[in-house]
Amino acid sequence: MDKQTSIKIASVMLFVHGFIEITGVVMLLSLPSELLAIAGFQDNQGKIIFMAALSAIYGFSRLVAGYATWSMKKWGIVFAMILSIETMIEAHTIYPFGIMDLFLATVVLVFLLYTWFGNEKI
């Protein structure tokens, strides 16, 4: 596999992950209060707003990193690596959704590391 393909796969995965995060924000803010009570958010509007804001920040950051990576900007690749590493560290705190985040972040990080270092021998 060449570096171009690796960049494209990582970018698409970043776009997908970003859209999932932003879709989660829209769904969280549009749920009726009865469903929010079932999910454990009863009478805690501050927690809902905080989670939505944090998810929106991460989603837009992933979209920016995906675009910069697609454009083959080095800062975009480094930014995407930092986002992926941070997601891998924090994924266990948002179980069961963290499993999906961990998978997507790991795939992105592997392809970006391959892009950065290639298959050179040490």
Domain boundaries, the chain: 3-117
Amino acid at 68: A
Q: How confident is the model at residue 92, as a pLDDT? A: 78
Neighbouring CB atoms inside 10 A of 14's CB total: 31
Average pLDDT, the chain: 85
Q: Give tens-digit pLDDT for 50-101.
A: 878 888 999 999 999 999 999 999 999 999 999 999 988 887 777 667 788 8
| Tokens 């803010």, located at residue | 29
Amino acid at 116: W
Phi first, then psi, for residue 32 (nearest 5°) are -70, 160
Q: How confident is the model at residue 9, as a pLDDT? A: 94
